Amino acid sequence: MTAADGRLIGALEACLFASPEPIGLEVLAEVLDQEAREVDRLIDCLQARYAPVECGVKIIRAGGKVQIRTKEEYGEIVARFLEPEGETLSPAALETLALVAYKQPITRPEVDVYRGVQSAHLLRRLEVEGLIGAVGRKDAPGRPKLYGTTERFLLQFGLDDLGQLPPLPDSSEKGMDEQG
């Protein structure tokens, strides 16, 4: 490895470390003033650097984007560090998030019908957490917001796309379909 390679790998590592979101290969190529093919090679070098067992992070590629992530074996420790007890999502918030994930796009009144209670505060919290967001407006009286999950939701739950959500049990799915 040349000194220039070392400097570019360091710059790549710094960009990935500083970004809270996955970064597209094209963006990295532009920032590093390199061809995409060269950046791809540098990512391979960085992945090899993080491969040893004692390293706590890894480089992942998904959908043309790259990110530094915690290795799975350290996930529980990092979760305890980042989420002090009492700051996890409540069962009601998880239920609301599941409704949005499985039935999106969905409006607040539709969520309220499924849950049988008002859900505005939970939807706001999930939106503030960045797990859901407005994806449009329903063509109905009052033009209510349509909610859907975000890229952060996928990252939080380790999913590449919504197709990886576990299937709903038959009884739950029937109940959801009857109301939908």
Task: For each of the domains in the chain, give its residue range(s) and CATH number, in order of start.
Answer: 3-75 (1.10.10.10), 91-179 (1.10.10.10)
Q: For residue range 10-22, what is the model confidence (pLDDT) as tens digits?
A: 999 999 999 988 9
Residue-level pLDDT at 83: 66
Task: Please work out, in degrees rounded to the nearest 5, the angle formed at the alpha carbon of residue 35 by the alpha carbons of 30 and 61.
Answer: 80
Using a cut of 0.75, tell me whether the model's pTM lies above it. Answer: no
Helix or strand or coil: residue 68? strand
E strand residue ranges, 4-159? 23-24, 57-62, 65-70, 132-137, 145-149
Residue-level pLDDT at 179: 47
52: pLDDT strictly greater than 50: yes
Number of Cβ atoms within 10 Å of the Cβ of 45: 16
Q: Which residue type, as a one-letter code, is found at position 135?
A: V
62: pLDDT strictly greater than 90: no
Give Rg (Cα) of the chain.
20
Determine phi and psi for 62, rounding to 5 degrees.
Answer: -155, 125
87: pLDDT strictly greater than 70: no
Mean pLDDT across 69-78: 86
Q: In what order do the strands lie in the sheet with 57-62?
A: 23-24, 65-70, 57-62
Residue-level pLDDT at 37: 94
